[in-house]
């Protein structure tokens, strides 16, 4: 009886041993589902270990980078933060309602979802495409977060900021402190909703950094990954159905979030995230005049990101592959 045994891990002609080329440990990301890149390779206790590797470094040529016409854009690996594509990514620009990523994550880190907030006159009078919050309305933090992150409600941002810190100004101070903590050196917040205001700006690179941080929070991921939510408002007989402004969500099964934005100065903005075959990517597009182009470029960037990696399986030495007579 002949027993076939794996003696060394081999991938696409690259092996460990003798005069063959060693696999650079710098090319190895974390095992599927892991939280941090590996410093090196060591066999796991199980018989197989799955790693994410750079496609081009193993002779597997990935797709050409997409043609992007938006003023600013960036694509990063959502797990490691590695930049995979950038275009004017460090130019300061207004970022519209993508601001609400910061608002949302601060609320989640500082408030109970069941806490109740009374809508103030200031919140109710905030500029909104459709007025639906009234002064005196009482909603939970959870309800307001759905309004904030799905429907991009500016009034919800103000109500949440006041509920968290007492005043919008105090909350904005916390937003900027968090930005500094995250290394967002080209970002300044003036309000919690992203409405055009002098001195309110960020960059594609900083927004990608923020999104990467926010998406580590499972509750945040659940909010931005929701396509629609039915909200029952006080004193209203008809519930309000909040549909996500993220047009890629639900259209593409691998899209996981994050947030759109639109103001006259910022134009179309979108921070998107996706996970496919164990690979997570985050794209940011800022300043695009046309909504379809904004979404299409975000999709193209993320698909390009997926093409940059491959998942490969290494088997432990001594694993029996097959038995033959």
Question: Is residue 45 scored above 80 in pLDDT?
Answer: no
Residues 279 and 249 in one domain: yes
Residues 303 and 315 in one domain: no
> In this predicted model, what pLDDT tens digit does every residue of 221-274 receive, in sequence order?
999 999 999 998 878 889 999 999 999 999 999 999 999 999 999 999 999 999
Residue 36 included in any domain = yes
Task: Say what the pLDDT of residue 23 is.
Answer: 33
Q: Is 276 a catalytic residue?
A: no
Quick one: average pLDDT of 66-76? 98
Catalytic residue among 29, 100, 155, 165: 100
Residues 166 and 155 in one domain: yes
User: Whose structure tokens read 């960020």?
Assistant: 202
Residues 128 and 161 in one domain: yes
Q: Is residue 305 very low, low, confident or very high in pLDDT (cuts 50, 70, 90)? A: very high
CATH of the domain at 276: 3.40.710.10
Catalytic residue among 29, 70, 152, 298: 152
- Count the helices and strands in the chain (H runs, E runs): 8, 16
Task: Say what the pLDDT of residue 54 is.
Answer: 60
Residue 266 included in any domain = yes
Q: Is residue 64 very low, low, confident or very high in pLDDT (cuts 50, 70, 90)? A: confident
Residue 224 included in any domain = yes
Q: Is 244 a catalytic residue?
A: no
- The proportion of the chain whose per-residue pLDDT surpasses 70, expressed as a percent, equals 75
**Domain count within the chain:** 2
> In this predicted model, what pLDDT tens digit does every residue of 185-235 receive, in sequence order?
999 999 999 999 999 999 999 999 999 999 999 999 999 999 999 998 878
Task: Say what the pLDDT of residue 14 is.
Answer: 33
Task: Say what the pLDDT of residue 229 is.
Answer: 97
Largest Cα span, the chain: 84
Question: Is residue 17 scored above 70 in pLDDT?
Answer: no
Question: Is residue 177 scored above 90 in pLDDT?
Answer: yes
Residues 183 and 105 in one domain: yes
Helix (H, G, I), strand (E, B) or coil at 169: helix
Query: Using CA atoms, how far apart are residues 32 and 283, in angstroms rounded to an integer?
Result: 21
Task: Say what the pLDDT of residue 185 is.
Answer: 98
Residues 216 and 192 in one domain: yes
Residue 66 included in any domain = no
Count CB-CB contacts under 10 A for residue 174. 19
Question: Is residue 142 scored above 60 in pLDDT?
Answer: yes
Residue 93 included in any domain = yes
Residues 284 and 320 in one domain: no
Strands, E assignment, the chain: 2-5, 10-11, 14-15, 28-31, 48-54, 72-77, 83-87, 116-118, 138-140, 228-231, 240-243, 255-263, 267-276, 279-288, 309-315, 320-324
Residues 316 and 299 in one domain: no
Question: Is residue 86 scored above 80 in pLDDT?
Answer: yes
Q: Is 227 a catalytic residue?
A: no
Catalytic residue among 29, 70, 97, 283: 97
Task: Say what the pLDDT of residue 235 is.
Answer: 83
Quick one: average pLDDT of 136-147? 97
Q: Which residues span the domain enclosing 116?
A: 72-307
Token pair for 289: 């005049």
Task: Say what the pLDDT of residue 228 is.
Answer: 97
Question: How high does pLDDT run on average in the chain?
Answer: 84
Residue 203 included in any domain = yes
Residues 281 and 148 in one domain: yes
Query: Using CA atoms, how far apart are residues 137 and 163, in angstroms rounded to an integer?
Result: 13
| Concatenated DSSP letters of 183-197 | T-TT-B-SSSS----
Residues 196 and 317 in one domain: no
């Amino acid at each position: 009886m002949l027993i076939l045994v794996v003696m060394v891990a081999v991938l696409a002609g690259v092996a460990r041993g003798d005069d063959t080329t060693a696999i650079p440990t710098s090319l190895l990301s974390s095992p599927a589902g892991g939280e941090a890149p590996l410093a090196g390779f060591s066999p796991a206790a199980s018989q197989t270990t799955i790693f994410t590797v750079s496609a081009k470094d193993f002779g597997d040529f990935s797709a050409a980078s997409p043609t992007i016409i938006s003023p600013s854009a960036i694509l990063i690996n959502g797990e490691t933060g590695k930049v995979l594509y950038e275009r004017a990514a460090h130019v300061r620009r207004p970022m519209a309602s993508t601001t609400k990523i910061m608002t949302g994550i601060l609320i989640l880190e500082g408030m109970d979802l069941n806490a109740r907030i009374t809508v103030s006159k200031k919140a109710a009078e905030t500029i909104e495409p459709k007025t639906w919050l009234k002064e005196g309305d009482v909603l939970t933090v959870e309800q307001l977060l759905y309004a904030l992150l799905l429907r991009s409600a500016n009034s919800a941002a103000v109500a949440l900021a006041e509920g968290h810190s007492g005043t919008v100004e105090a909350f904005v101070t916390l937003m900027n402190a968090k930005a500094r903590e995250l290394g967002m050196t080209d970002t300044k917040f003036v309000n919690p909703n992203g409405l055009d205001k002098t001195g309110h700006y960020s960059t594609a690179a900083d927004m990608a950094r923020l999104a990467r941080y926010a998406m580590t929070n499972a509750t945040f991921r659940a909010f931005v990954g929701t396509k629609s939510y039915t909200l029952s408002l006080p004193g209203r007989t008809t519930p309000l159905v909040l549909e996500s402004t993220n047009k890629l969500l639900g259209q593409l099964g691998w899209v996981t979030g994050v947030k759109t934005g639109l103001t006259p100065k910022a134009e179309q903005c979108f921070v998107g995230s996706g996970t496919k075959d164990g690979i997570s990517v985050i794209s940011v597009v800022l300043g695009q005049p046309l909504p379809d182009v904004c979404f299409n470029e975000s999709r193209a960037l993320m698909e390009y990101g997926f093409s940059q990696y491959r998942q490969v399986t290494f088997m432990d030495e001594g694993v029996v592959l097959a038995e033959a007579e």
